[in-house]
Homo-oligomer: A and B are copies of this chain.
């Protein structure tokens, strides 16, 4: 294996645990986890139990697969290859995937990590693995919603910083909690005590021709047709830089797929498990968007009423 030219002391001094990782193993506290170099690259150590080499094989196949349309490729992190690096836990050299750091341009991104599918296992897996997945799937919203939130961080502003609930709290999310998170994600007043957040960013983040909903629909159209890949236990991230939105910049909302250790060949069949979950997520997003449109129409009607008039139109 060729050692990358970056393999030197100055390069290592730039590497650090990602600031905005919301799920998975963390490199902080001397554990094994991914690293970023601050210049747009994300280094993910190959996972054990064959999962890492499967994920590498997926990236290699996928990045040269000419059947994947260009407009679909943007939903996947750019793959730059693999590289031997000192592992973050000090265990020595370890092969890392070199990927695009998808939040590298963001200052304070809000991110939701959604594990898609009503089933995180696949028939070829061992009975023990299936049993473990089934139990977790039934405990979370995976079976009921066709997806579960695996992690999140919502930026609330300079003073309160991020709301980033712990793994246990996220795993215990109910359907109502998920609905609430999807609303708070696009609200200016998203602090935890607020039971009715304003969803004021829904039109610009979820809506619009470049918004989350349009991107999800684009991805859905591909999943209705593609029969090459089945994405088991894969995560879909939705994210935007809340900091720049709060400062009045035009928001850039993004949808990205990550975690491909359990991608299998589709063998001519669509990934109905992923597609079903994706459609369920789409419904949640479009529900928040329609509610926000309705409430803004109501607010406009209220503001258009002449002053000092009663509801029946008689002015006093």
Contacts and interface: CB of A to CB of B under 8 A. Distances in A.
A225 interface: yes
A224 B283 CA distance: 7
Contact of A269 (B123, B224, B225, B280): B280
A66 B143 CA distance: 29
B270 A279 contact: yes
- Give 6 nearest A-B pairs by CB, closest first: A276-B276, A146-B272, A272-B276, A272-B280, A270-B283, A123-B143
Given A279-B224, A279-B272, A279-B275, A267 B119 contact: no
Give the one of A270, A272, A277, A283 with max B CB within 10 A: A272
Interface of A: 118-119, 123, 138, 143-146, 175, 179, 224-225, 227, 267-270, 272-273, 275-277, 279-280, 282-283
Given A118-B276, A123-B144, A179-B268, 5 more contacts: A118-B118, A119-B119, A224-B282, A269-B280, A272-B276
B280 A175 contact: no
Contact of A276 (B267, B275, B283): B275
Nearest to A282: B224
Nearest to A274: B276
B270 A273 contact: no
A118 B272 contact: yes
Given A119-B118, A138-B123, A146 B273 contact: yes
